[in-house]
Chain A
Amino acid sequence: MRDLFPILIFSLLVMFGYAGFVTFGIPLIVPAPPPVEEKLSGDITMEQYVAIGDKIFHGKGTCTLCHNTTGHRAPILEMASSDGEPVGVRAAERIKDPRYQGEAMNGEEYLHESLVDPSAFVVAGYGKTGTNDTVSPMPSVNKGAIGLSDVEMGAVIAYLQSAAGVDITVALPTGEAPADDGEEEEVTVAANAQEAFDKFGCSACHMHPLIDEGGDIGPDLGKVGATAGSRVIGLTAEQFIAQSIIKPNAVIAEGFDADTMPDDFAESMTVSELNMLVDAVLHPDKKPDQEPDSTEGE
């Protein structure tokens, strides 16, 4: 056994040498702790959920594009108005309306249905022209460019109920937290005119060959290009269309109301998007895939 001692001591010295080198010979890097996990339902309160709904209602959801006090293009939702009580209150009444064909059993379900299937019940006077209030001009908010998730729609409903002062019946989300500020800031630039139309919600009010199903609240964009050059003296067709997008109230087309179209596109649009839109309005029959290059790099 005594023969083993030198070998043991040698082995220990080698190992301590290595461990010493690792400890003292190289710089100490402390690894970052594991990232904090996504927020779970337990962490979010109803107040926060309502606040998120508020944000979505006025932002990502693009609801106020039509549901505003100036345009009268859609019923006012969050407060009492000529349309009646706030929607949170009147929702419960709607399902008793004889014209109502949907499946909702209570106010919350009605609101949800209105979001995903707007034509289930169209408030008198707000339907698409010529449909006798059976088809709504509103897009389904869980699809297309708006694309709200269930959790986000829940937040909107919670916001509307909260604004109406009724009991909030929406359950707090289980699973991943709804979009926080970070997601809203992440804006992608539209690659072509069609995407641009989607992104800025033009289809809600306008028609155009690139828009599948447009509204008639604003002028038909497939037609205005032909006359744009002669509308205002001193402005070329491009300049006029650009002005109409950035400053919509500068010239109001006959038969349409002022103050309907949002006037903040100058901030939210990139120059390339504006150029694409002007180009598309001016040449409505051009194929979409030819669009982007014509304006790039100017």
Chain B
Amino acid sequence: MLDPDSGLSLTIARIVQRLKGSSLHSQLERQARVSLHKPEIKLESLKEDIKNFLKTSGWEKKLQNAVYSELNVFPSPCHPAAPPEHMKEPLAYMRKAQGSWEKRILKSLNSMCTELSIPLAQKRPLTEQKELLNKWNEMGTDEPDLSLFRPVYAPKDFLEVLMNLRNPNYENGEQPSFRNHLGLIQVPLKVKDIPELKEDFSELGLNIGQLGIDDSAQVPPEFFENEHVRVGQKVLAEQDSAAAQQYVRQGCPTALRPELWALILNISNQPEDILYYEQLKSNVIQYDLLVDSLIYKDVKLTASNDDYYFVFEDYLYQVLLCFSRDTSVLEHFTYSSATPPKSYIRGKLGMEEYAVFYPPNGVIPFHGFSMYVAPLCFLYHEPSKLYQIFREMYVRFFFRLHSISSHPSGIVSLCLLFETLLQTHLPQLFYHLREIGAQPLRISFKWMVRAFSGYLATDQLLLLWDRILGYNSLEILAVLAAAVFAFRAVNLMEVTSLAAAEAVLADLSTLKVMPLLQIFLFATVT
């Protein structure tokens, strides 16, 4: 806990330091230098004139957006006495749980290597490199035999871990008592109740226009839509990230979505970004990693079988393979509870100067990982831009869905929020499902881990992700999961087994997310 003043100066210091090393910094310097040749820059008022020039030429806006992006991504600074792991996760038992979960993953990966006797990473022979380069755009046509590979873990395994998570300082009696939660998650995190959520998501209120709702009786929907598109164009013309973020809370018009999301995530796809992507591509060509097979397998098992996403198979390989080689992803481990796996170059075991992270980005894909990328393929067709958007979405949001932490957007909090909402607002349903052995979280967990990707129709999914970006929070996922149960409550009250309950909730592709969210948050008597 820092007092506000020192917290602010620390934040400012960190942002200044980070921006100093960025290409934006050198660009700004360059522009300032170039501006010296302009007649309106006077010597006697040099500083003010250059400031004015940077303002009118739009560079100030770029700087603002960069600062805003930093503020959105990085957590506020910790107390100076706190060790670095405190920033990753303040609760010691959560850090420990994440650590032992990682160890399990490492063991599983190592035993796969040993069983199949293949190394984790090796250089490709030149002929293979050429071959891969030639079929870069049609990697999906390749049908390697992956029957021996298995996903390192699936959401179901992860849920088992979260269910067994306990605070050792909490009275966890064997006997059921007021201290035990009735759901599966047993950690005492603070989650929001409906009044707090109503306040947070006030822009989703009943009397505020939303894209994704077209049932207004009094006003024709075009009235709001046309106006909303007009405002959206204005936001884009202004190139202001903060305004764009506020704007998407009411939903993005389809035509403007790619640009608005890029603006919020501060992705501009500059020539150096394209160069960076090409470099990643050449790293894919050079090195053969075991995780590539896991990625292949995952795409084949998930996206390739999906009615909406199978067409993007080739894009998915490109993005995910490049992602695994991207060392800039490692940066997110400063604020994530996870730690990247470590290894040593062959024959140099234990020598610190030969220690490396594996995979180079530190992220081991799990079953369903490719579904984080798939919906984005609808928005971006240029691989380098698609790639950057995905990477930014991952380091801002998606990593929280598969690591154990106490963060309000972390998967543990989402699970607890979901269970608490359901239990307080549909107690009978919750009790019924629990009694028949169909704990609601067993059904909804996979939706939340994948941020509903692959479960909702694409247009609905994008409307949902609009709100994730708009509120810079994943809590909406838990609210939607609870809303889906509320919507199907009548049918669910009649089922008598987990399988039957799963069948009732098997197909979410016909659901309209915005009406569900609105009704659950604002039209239910609390």
Determine if chain A interacts with chain B. Answer: no
A interface vs B, CB < 8 Å? none
B interface vs A, CB < 8 Å? none
